[in-house]
């Protein structure tokens, strides 16, 4: 059977030298985000006037519809997908109408600033892990790689105190949400060692981010903390997971995936996705909840200079209300909201500004 895609196992550099399989460190294009320009799962920058573009996160399992209806406009489309990415949620926080346009009319091309942000995340990742390319033959293989990468990253965090690009997933307000945490560090505060969640944002100009950009970055890290805390306290309801994603837990994984899993986890007999469940669950139980404080770092793309840091507290009530608001739109309970008046400057960087009713009428709906 031909491979349907290539995935990447993450091997900590401290053990990569003893890894028996041939290592292939091939750069891949990272997930886009929801701020003015983006890098790996959420690197926000402010775009230049010459690079207008929408910056929506990848929406899993949603086919972009470009079909036109009778009057030549894009056909309205409500997404019906298996899960949300964290960056989908921050995209909605940036502008729901922009998300709607990206679904009904297709996402514009990535800007150079977005590509630079993605490349920076790859650089940071391979400072601590080596990527091993694995051929994937089924959805079960793909999810096996994600779960194995979590286990590898969690073990690296436990032994070395740091890991990067850690995949997480869980249920938030009835929706399955997946994401990749940029960085976790074990830090001792108040006598307790807990993971500190960190995200690095790159900017294409040496200026501080706007308040809406900070808000997006903060929301992203808050959702990551929520997913992490749920993982280490209640775990994943795997029966519901298999059913929701239409996976066959006893389906035999590809030989490539089984071989890599056996080499990474000596003594285990990983043949199916179900075999990975106890390994995953045991790893989650070893950790406490993440720190209540979260950290955003801002870098200038030109020279990697640190422009500043934003350490802020987790705000559970605020996050719950924002997610509830956006999911009302996502589930079709209301129309997409436009940006508030004080954030109309976002429209200058939006690829859909010339067709947006808010811009045409010079008015908008407030949230």
Please give the pLDDT value at position 201: 94
**97-128 per-position pLDDT tens digit:** 999 999 889 887 777 777 888 888 888 888 88
Cβ-based neighbours of 180, under 8 Å, separated by 6 or more: 31, 40, 41, 86, 165, 166, 167, 168
| Better-predicted residue by pLDDT, 199 or 107 | 199
Please give the pLDDT value at position 6: 64
**274-284 per-position pLDDT tens digit:** 999 999 999 99
pLDDT of 25 over the 70 cut: no
Confidence of residue 79 (pLDDT cuts 50, 70, 90): low
pLDDT of 290 over the 70 cut: yes
d(CA 87, CA 42): 6
Please give the pLDDT value at position 273: 96
pLDDT of 166 over the 90 cut: yes
Is 155 among the domain residues?
yes
Confidence of residue 30 (pLDDT cuts 50, 70, 90): very low
Cβ-based neighbours of 100, under 8 Å, separated by 6 or more: 336
pTM of the model: 0.81
The answer to whether residues 183 and 43 touch, using CB atoms and an 8 Å cutoff, is no
Please give the pLDDT value at position 192: 84
d(CA 79, CA 89): 13
The percent of residues above 70 in pLDDT, for the chain, comes to 77
Diameter of the chain by CA atoms? 66
Query: How many C-beta atoms lie closer than 10 Å to residue 298's C-beta?
Result: 25
The answer to whether residues 194 and 288 touch, using CB atoms and an 8 Å cutoff, is yes
Is 77 among the domain residues?
yes
Q: Is 39 left (phi over 0), alpha (psi -120 to 50) or beta?
A: beta
d(CA 83, CA 170): 10
**315-331 per-position pLDDT tens digit:** 999 999 999 999 999 99
Three-state DSSP at 312 gives strand
Kindly provide the b/e burial profile for residues 235-245, where b requires at least 16 CB atoms within 10 angstroms of the residue's own CB.
ebebeebbeeb
In the chain, at which residue ranges do the beta strands (DSSP E only) sit? 5-12, 84-85, 129-136, 162-172, 175-189, 192-203, 293-300, 306-313
The answer to whether residues 251 and 258 touch, using CB atoms and an 8 Å cutoff, is no
Is 151 among the domain residues?
yes
Query: Residue 86: which domain range?
Result: 5-361
Number of domains in the chain: 1
pLDDT of 61 over the 50 cut: no
Please measure the distance between the N-terminal and C-terminal CA atoms of the chain and give it in whole angstroms: 50
Please give the pLDDT value at position 241: 96
Is 366 among the domain residues?
no
Is 367 among the domain residues?
no
**217-252 per-position pLDDT tens digit:** 999 999 999 999 999 999 999 999 999 999 999 999
CB-count exposure of residue 61 (10 Å: 0-12, 13-18, 19+): exposed
| Better-predicted residue by pLDDT, 199 or 54 | 199
Is 229 among the domain residues?
yes
Is 241 among the domain residues?
yes
Is 280 among the domain residues?
yes
């Amino acid at each position: 059977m031909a491979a349907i895609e290539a995935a990447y196992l993450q091997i900590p550099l401290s053990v990569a030298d003893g890894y028996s399989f041939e290592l292939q460190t091939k750069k891949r294009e990272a997930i886009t985000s929801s701020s003015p320009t983006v890098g790996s799962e959420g690197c926000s920058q402010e775009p230049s006037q010459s690079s207008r573009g929408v910056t929506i996160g990848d929406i899993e399992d949603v086919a972009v519809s470009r079909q036109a209806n009778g009057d030549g406009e894009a056909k309205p489309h409500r997404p019906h997908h298996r899960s949300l990415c964290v960056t989908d949620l921050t995209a909605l926080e940036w502008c729901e109408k922009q998300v709607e346009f990206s679904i009904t009319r297709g996402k514009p091309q990535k800007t150079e600033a977005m590509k630079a942000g993605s490349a920076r995340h790859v650089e940071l990742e391979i400072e601590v892990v080596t990527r091993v390319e694995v051929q994937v033959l089924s959805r079960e293989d793909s999810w096996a790689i994600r779960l194995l990468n979590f286990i590898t990253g969690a073990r690296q965090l436990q032994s070395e105190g740091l890991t990067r690009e850690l995949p997480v997933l869980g249920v938030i307000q009835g929706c399955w949400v997946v994401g990749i945490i940029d960085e976790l560090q074990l830090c001792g505060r108040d006598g307790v060692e807990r993971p500190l969640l960190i995200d690095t944002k790159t900017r294409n100009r040496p200026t501080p981010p706007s308040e809406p950009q900070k808000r997006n970055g903060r929301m992203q890290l808050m959702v990551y903390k929520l997913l992490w805390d749920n993982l280490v306290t209640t775990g994943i309801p795997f029966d519901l997971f298999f059913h929701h994603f239409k996976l066959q837990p006893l389906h035999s994984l590809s030989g490539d995936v089984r071989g890599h899993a056996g080499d990474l986890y000596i003594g285990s007999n990983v043949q199916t996705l179900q075999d990975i469940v106890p390994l995953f669950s045991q790893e989650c139980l070893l950790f406490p909840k993440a720190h209540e404080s979260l950290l955003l770092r801002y870098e200038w793309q030109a020279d990697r200079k640190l422009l500043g840091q934003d350490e802020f507290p987790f705000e559970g009530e605020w996050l719950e209300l924002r997610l509830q608001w956006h999911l009302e739109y996502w589930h079709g309970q209301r129309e997409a909201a436009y940006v508030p008046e004080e954030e109309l400057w976002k429209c200058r960087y939006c690829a859909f500004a010339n067709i947006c009713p808010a811009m045409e009428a010079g008015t908008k709906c407030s949230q």
